[in-house]
Amino acid sequence: MDFSLTEEQQMVKDTARRFADEQIKPVAAELDKSHRHPAEIVRQLAELGFLGIAVPEEYGGGGMDYVSYVLAMIEISRACASTGVIMSVNNSLYGYPVLAYGTHEQKLKYLKPVASGQHLGCYGLTESGAGSDPAAMRTTAVRDGDAWVINGEKKFITNGNVADYCVMAAVTQKGLGYKGISTFVVNLKETPGFSLGVIEEKMGINASGTAELIFEDARVPADALLGQEGEGFKQMLSTLDGGRIGIASQAIGIGRAALEDALAYAKEREQFGKPIASFQAIQWKLADMAMELDAAELLTLRAAYHEDHHLPYEKEAAMAKCFASDAAMRAAIEGVQVLGGYGYISEYPMERHMRDAKICQIYEGTNEIMRVVIARSLLKGK
C-alpha cells in the first residue's frame, strides 16, 4: 500500500497551501465579520483550476483527480471555511452531476462556464419541508411544449446569492414519491420567473451566501433536463456522495486550523512560570486533535481514491464526512478550551473555527443520516 502522493498531487497541495496562507488567511477574519463574498479570491481559485478541479480540460476544468481535490480543499478550508464551501459546491454539487449525467452539448453549455470559474454554480435540493427526506419535496416541473415550467422554493442554497447556474431537483410525476423526481440544470440569469429570496443570517461560514431560490412559472428549455425523467433521486444520491467528500475535506481544514492555532498558543502562553504546552492536560488535548484529524484525512482520501477508480464509495463518503465533521467540532471545542478566555473572543480566530465547524455536521446530510447510510451498507453486507 502506497501512501505517497504523485508529483501532480503534491504540487496541487503545495500550491493550495501557499495560496491559502498568502491570499486567504490574512483576510479570513474580515470576510467573516463583513459577510462579504470573496469575489477576488474566487477569481484566483478559478485561475488555479480549483473550481472544476476534476473536470476534464475539454469542459473547462483542471483535469486532475479527486485526491487532488481533497488535498486542495483541506488547505483552502484551513484558511477560510467559507471559501472552502464555495469551492466544494462548485466542484461536487454542481460540477459532478453535470459531468456525470449531462450530454456533451449540456457539458459545453452548462458545465464549461462554471468549471472554468467564469460563473459559479449551486445545487437546489433542500426545501422547507424536505431536508433529510427529499422525497417530500414540492417543487414541480411540468412539460409545456419545448420547455419545462418550474414552480417551488429551495431553501438554504449555498452560493445561491451569487450563482448563475443551478442543478436542481423537481417533481415531474406526482404520486410516485422519489421515483417521480427529475433533475434540471438551469441558467438562473436567463430564466424568466426565477427570483432570489431571503439570504440567511448564519452562525458561521458567513462569507458564503446561503439563499432561498424562488421559481414562479419559471420556464427552462427542454435541454435543461439532466439525464432521463424520473432519474433525479438516483442522481441526487450519487451527487451527495461526492459532496460529502468535499465537506469532509472542509471539516478537516477547519480542524487543522484549530489545531495549528491551539498549538501555537500553547507554546507561547505561560502559567505557573512555564508554557501551558508543558502540562499533560494540554498535551493530551493536542494529541487527540492531531490523531482524530489524521484519521479523518485517511478516511477522506480513501473515499476520494474510490471515486477516482470508479469503485463504490457511498459508505466510504458517509464515514469520511461523519467522522471528519465530528473530529473538526471536537478540535474546535478543545481549541477554545486551550485558549481559555481568548478562545471565546473574536480577536482570535478560534471562535470562528468553532462556529464554522458546526455546519459540517449538518449539511450534505446530517451526521445522523450518515450513520443510517453506513449501517444500511453494513446490513447489506457491503
* Domain stop point among 68, 88, 115: 115
Is 246 found in the same domain as 227? no
pLDDT in tens, 190-238: 999 999 999 999 999 999 999 999 999 999 999 999 999 999 999 999 9
Q: Higher pLDDT residue, 176 or 329? A: 329
* Domain stop point among 197, 231, 265: 231
Is 222 found in the same domain as 210? yes
Is 128 found in the same domain as 94? no
Question: What range does the domain containing 257 cover?
Answer: 233-379
Is 211 found in the same domain as 153? yes
Identify the CATH number of the domain in which residue 195 sits.
2.40.110.10
Task: Return the pLDDT at 178.
Answer: 87
Task: Return the pLDDT at 116.
Answer: 96
pLDDT class of 2 with cuts at 50, 70, 90: confident
Is 218 found in the same domain as 153? yes
pLDDT class of 324 with cuts at 50, 70, 90: very high
Is 314 found in the same domain as 237? yes
Is 252 found in the same domain as 149? no
Domain for residue 2, yes or no?
no
Is 365 found in the same domain as 252? yes
* Domain stop point among 115, 150, 177: 115
pLDDT in tens, 88-124: 999 999 999 999 999 999 999 999 999 999 999 999 9
Domain for residue 102, yes or no?
yes
What percent of the chain is modeled with pLDDT above 90?
Answer: 95
Active site residues: 364
Is 175 found in the same domain as 61? no
pLDDT class of 44 with cuts at 50, 70, 90: very high
Identify the CATH number of the domain in which residue 320 sits.
1.20.140.10
Is 288 found in the same domain as 198? no
Domain for residue 1, yes or no?
no
pLDDT class of 364 with cuts at 50, 70, 90: very high
- Count the domains in the chain: 3
Is 299 found in the same domain as 260? yes
**pLDDT surpasses 80 at 189:** yes
Q: Which of 258, 232, 280, 382 is nearest to 332 (CA)?
A: 258
CB 66 within 8 A of CB 245: yes
User: In Å, what is the CA distance from 27 to each residue of 65, 120, 261?
Assistant: 29, 21, 16
Instruction: Match 409545456 to its residue by C-alpha cell.
Output: 144
Tell me the C-alpha distance between 143 and 150, whole Å: 9
Tell me the C-alpha distance between 198 and 321, whole Å: 28
CB 370 within 8 A of CB 315: no
Is 78 found in the same domain as 30? yes
